[in-house]
Amino acid sequence: MSQTNYLLVYNMFSLGIASMLFTTIFLIVARERVLPRYRMAVLVSATVTGIAAYHYFRMFDSFNHVFGPDAIEGAVYNVGYRYVDWFLTVPLLLVETVAVLAIARAAQSALLVRLVPAAAAMIALGYPGDAGLDIGGVSAPVWGLLSTIPFLYILYILFVELGKSLGKQSKQVQRRIKELRLLLLATWGVYPLAFIANMNSTGFEEQGFVLRETGYTIADILAKCLFGLMIFSIARMKSAEDDKSFAASEYKGK
């Protein structure tokens, strides 16, 4: 791997570690800055970035064992870390999204029993294609396509079903939740592009690898750290709306 490419991926992984780790610590401590009823959403956000921080430490090491100056003979870059990470964190991202709405418990459950299995299926179907596993001769594009079905279903739930419960939120919160959904759509859209970049890289393996790892890392930081901070900001906005004395203790004047 060229020195430029090596340093690019190396620094991206390190940026990933720093972003995930300190978003986690910030959110755990900052949970007290929202009302108790929004703290589960903030805590789940912290759990997502915490799990990702662990995996970025591992990916950083795995990358260095293969491409670093002290590479270990026979080491293979383990793309499994990303998929194990997503298998745990993507369902949790949907949990935090629903939790911050603080809608009735029955309505929450109705959304989650559909979102969580769809998210798990989306990740599980993507892995064999990205890792180049041979399972019954199914090719990478087919795995990619299969994985897209639950993705579209999730979008349907978020944009159509969840939209129905937005009417009860204040104008300000509604706008922020719509931004949140757009962030999710924009960042989750990067993953299939990075998947395709790697898939079509025959003959340009190094370029495909660099594009994929860089793309996944940027998308991860936006989809987990920025997303988690937006969840926190919605929680804070709703806390101030729910309780005037809380608002007075948190903000000076109007």
Instruction: Decide whether 48 or 196 has the Cβ nearer to a copy of itself.
Output: 48
Residue 155: CB minimum distance to a copy of itself, A: 26
CB of 15 to a copy of itself, least distance (A): 5
Q: Using CA atoms, how far apart are residues 55 and 44, in angstroms rounded to an integer? A: 17
Indicate the residue among 133 and 182 with the shorter CB distance to a copy of itself.
Answer: 133
Task: Please state the closest distance from residue 121 (CB atom) to a copy of itself, in A.
Answer: 17
Q: How far apart are CA 20 and CA 14, in angstroms?
A: 10
C-alpha 221/C-alpha 24 separation (Å) is 12
Task: Using the minimum distance from each CB to a copy of itself, give the nearer residue, 68 or 192.
Answer: 68
For residue 174, what are the CA distances in angstroms to 107, 119, 193, 227, 237? 18, 24, 29, 16, 11
Nearer to a copy of itself, 107 or 155 (CB): 107
Query: What's the min distance (Å) between Cβ of 29 and a copy of itself?
Result: 6
Task: Report, in Å, the least distance between residue 247 CB and a copy of itself.
Answer: 10
Give how far Cα 151 sits from Cα of 114, 155, 163, 195, Å: 12, 6, 17, 14
Q: Which residues bind to a copy of itself, rule: CB under 8 A? A: 3-4, 7, 10-11, 14-15, 17-19, 21-22, 25-26, 28-33, 35-37, 39-40, 43-44, 46-47, 50-51, 54-55, 58, 65, 69-70, 72-76, 78, 80-81, 84-85, 87-88, 102-105, 133, 242, 249-254
Rounded CA gap, 86 and 131, in Å?
A: 14
Nearer to a copy of itself, 38 or 151 (CB): 38
